[in-house]
Structure 1
Amino acid sequence: MEITVPYQDRTLESPSLDRVRRLRRHLVRSLRDLRVAKHPDRLIQPYTAEPEGDVAAVLRAGCAACHGHCCLGGGEHAYLDERTMARVRRDRPDQDARGLIAAYVRDVAPMSYAGSCLFHGANGCTLDRALRADLCISYHCDGLTSFLRQAPAPSDVIIHAVRPGAASVRPGRNNAKVAPGREDETDG
């Protein structure tokens, strides 16, 4: 099976203090929204389990080839909201709001992709999985979603990463071949 995933190639940069301040303000607002919610326990979304085995290998290879195109919209909010805060507060009852904000700020990527999510580092997301928005945990692009719908999962998968709007796949660059039970092969 051949899968096409989007590709981003922005440059890495040190996040500005202003961007980190905006993240802090966003977290404060999200925690305030949670505090005034009538039924905060109802905001908690079911946690998306991490995939395993061959499916996980294909998803990891697809995301690695893509370089986090879906993270570009995360900006200073990282898709975090009162629903995420409700889950995190439930899972970390001993951590106060100040400590929680500090945990998020501590995980900001020292070098993140220009204009992308503050946690979007060179090797993927720098934010602890337990602190991520459910969207970040559960989202898959169209190519990976079509792979997940295959039953049973195909035994050999070739992943092509293509910049949105590009006319064709660039052979040998940011492509991966995944065969369950064998090492992944990556070009470029």
Structure 2
Amino acid sequence: MNAFARLPAGPAAVPLQLLLPSGPPRARPLAATRRERYRAHLQAVVDIAAALAPGTPTAPAARVAETVSDTASLLPGRLCALCGGGCCTRGSDHAYLGAPTLRRFMDAHPGMSPEEVVAAYLDRVTHKTQTGSCINHTRTGCSLPRDMRSDTCNDYACDSLAQVQAAPREQVVLVVRRKQDQWRRDRADLDNAVNGAAVLSETGVRRMRVG
């Protein structure tokens, strides 16, 4: 299958051509042991965060603010949706959450006790999570809103996402997706066959047949 060859010819039709990894395709009920490991991690981190002075610098406000204007490009979100969380698989039962993130959350909710902060994070955990991925990784994306996510999660952009973010808003993007996630995509001992392709634009997503 040569998805790139299926596009119309001509200078105006030349798309940005990208490769994507894949997030885990299956979900399973969350094991009680995973939830307990997450609770223990949150408790340890919130204890450190509580010892920091309120207002301790953690991250620029713009980093965690989810601001979407009428002129914002839809391409980054569509690219990440097609990937399905191929970068989330190392989140395990810690979700990259550290004291700076929880201190920032506590500053935004000054009436909450450390115990209530832990409970707020646990309340966001769903009954099913994607197999082999972050505890907050669900079929529809991260169960945490951006202001509760780690700086790692908010700031990370794979090479393909970075290219889309830097591209003109009217750019057409051809994406070929492979089977392995972001961290195993270069392993020669694993099957990394093409398992999806799509043309992305501001007006929509057109999936293409593979195989």
Question: Structure 1 residues 54, 94: closer, same or farther in 2, change over 3 A?
Answer: same
Shift of 1:140: 1.2
Matched residues, number: 183
Structure 1 counterpart of 2:127, one-letter code: P
Question: Structure 1 residues 86, 157: closer, same or farther in 2, change over 3 A?
Answer: same
**Aligned-pair Cα RMSD in Å:** 2.4
Which structure: larger Rg? 2
Matched, 1:118 2:135: yes
Structure 1 counterpart of 2:207, one-letter code: T
| 1:109/1:121 contact within 8 Å kept | yes
Structure 2 counterpart of 1:96, one-letter code: S
Gaps in structure 1 of 5+ consecutive residues: none
Secondary structure of 1:99's match? helix
Shift of 1:108: 0.8
Aligned counterparts, 1:16-165, within 5 A: 16-37=31-52, 41-47=55-61, 48=63, 49-50=65-66, 52=69, 56-150=73-167, 152-153=168-169, 155-162=171-178, 163=180, 164-165=185-186
Question: Structure 1 residues 32, 160: closer, same or farther in 2, change over 3 A?
Answer: same
Gaps in structure 2 of 5+ consecutive residues: 1-15
2: CA distance between counterparts of 1:54 and 1:187? 27
More off after superposition, 40-49 vs 93-102 = 40-49
Instruction: Summarize deviations over 1:94-133 as a string: whole Å, max 9, x none.
Output: 1111111111111112211123111101111111222111
Runs of 4+ deviating beyond 4 Å: 51-56, 166-169
Secondary structure of 1:78's match? coil
1: CA distance between counterparts of 2:207 and 2:171? 17
Question: Structure 1 residues 65, 174: closer, same or farther in 2, change over 3 A?
Answer: farther
TM-score of the pair, normalised by structure 2:
0.76
2: CA distance between counterparts of 1:90 and 1:64? 31
Shift of 1:55: 5.6
- % identity of equivalent residues: 25
Question: Structure 1 residues 110, 54: closer, same or farther in 2, change over 3 A?
Answer: farther
